[in-house]
Amino acid sequence: MNILVTGCAGLIGWKVSEKLLEHGHRVIGVDNLNSYYDPRLKEYRLEQLKKFENFKFYKVNIENREALRILFQEFEFDAVINEAARAGVRYSIQNPHIYFTTNTLGNLNLLELMKEFGVKKLILASTSSLYAGQPMPFKEELPVNTPISPYAASKKAAEVTAYTYHYLYGIDVVILRYFTVYGLAGRPDMAVFNFIYKTLKGIPIKVYGDGSQKRDFTYVDDVAEATVKALNLKGYEIINVGNNKPRALKELIELIEKYTGKEVKVEYGDFHKADMRDTWADITKAKRLLGWEPKTSLEEGVKKTVEWFLENWDWVKDLRV
């Protein structure tokens, strides 16, 4: 298949692209390489993808519909996997407009071009942040109408727009609600990367709350596998992609101490209003429709991530985090 992967230099987009290429697909990857976090991480991920003959990269922002149009004209895409997004709950409160121009309008640009060029399959990356205020474990049929951050609201808007295009134009849509994804060369604004980096540097980490809040930490390779499997589905589906084993932040800190051999210095702050207290994915639907369940425990995932840090510390130590 010829597959357009947006956000291919992001953590999930990178691993999804890699898995597609390993399966023999051709990947046309786009990313705007923005500086929300240190671009050297994105450059590292891209270098890994450029080792594959079937990979082509274009520096394109999905907000730019005419630039995207050129790619749709040049390549006959069989599917679009939209992993491009402005991420980060807290930063979305400071700068909400870019979250909607990228996450909502950027997705609309893709849908319009899919309609125009007859591309009939979209996989859209969404988020567990939509489940704020809902009972756990989170099931896909819950009403997600109370987003507590502009980030979550922009993703909800993208989801319902995708449904509209499925209904009107017969585009197959699979929405994957990812749960706290982490892994090698991850995002510096997320706990696993941030805490390991600062511990290795001897810098205190910041915990908002008392550390008892839980997250359904999901290893990126498992997430990529679920995403590729979703290409086989038809119709309109929303599917949780999570580890189904919520773990407290305190447990994550203990694992980082275990695998780095260093003490984690913690500074506690007030719990952030836009953060969710706990997340927990019900993955019954993923098992049934995708034949998928996660393989990587938090222990194994943190160990692998610490090993990556140590192997790459010569350049990682200088990152802006």
Of 49, 92, 63, 59, give the one whose Cα is nearest residue 224. Answer: 49
Residue 305 has pLDDT above 90, yes or no: yes
What the block records as the tokens of 109 is 């640009």
The CA distance from 155 to 93, in Å, is 14
Which residue is associated with the tokens 């390489």? Answer: 33
Task: State how far the alpha carbon of 225 is from the alpha carbons of 65, 184, 198, 245, 256, in Å.
Answer: 29, 15, 30, 18, 25
Q: pTM here?
A: 0.97
Return mean pLDDT, the chain.
97
What confidence tens digit (pLDDT) does each residue in 250-303 have?
Answer: 999 999 999 999 999 999 999 888 788 899 999 999 999 999 999 999 999 999
The distance from CA 198 to its chain's CA centroid, rounded to whole angstroms, is 22
Task: Give me the pLDDT at residue 54, please.
Answer: 98
Task: State how far the alpha carbon of 296 is from the alpha carbons of 40, 205, 244, in Å.
Answer: 26, 25, 11
Q: Is 165 a catalytic residue?
A: no
Of 64, 65, 67, 52, give the one whose Cα is nearest residue 21. Answer: 52
The CA distance from 129 to 279, in Å, is 8
Which residue is associated with the tokens 């049929």? Answer: 141
Query: In sequence order, what are the beta bridge partners of 176?
Result: 125, 239
What confidence tens digit (pLDDT) does each residue in 46-83 have?
Answer: 999 999 999 999 999 999 999 999 999 999 999 999 99
Query: In sequence order, what are the beta bridge partners of 262?
Result: none
In the chain, the N- to C-terminal Cα span, in Å, equals 37
Choosing from 37, 44, 131, 151, which is the catalytic residue? Answer: 151
pLDDT confidence of 89, banded at 50, 70, 90? confident
> How many other C-beta atoms lie within 10 A of the C-beta of residue 272?
13
What the block records as the tokens of 164 is 């509209």
Average pLDDT (122-137) is: 96
The CA distance from 123 to 131, in Å, is 20
What confidence tens digit (pLDDT) does each residue in 145-190 have?
Answer: 999 999 999 999 999 999 999 999 999 999 999 999 999 999 999 9
The CA distance from 306 to 93, in Å, is 31
The CA distance from 311 to 161, in Å, is 43
Domains of the chain are 2-181+218-243+280-295 (3.40.50.720)
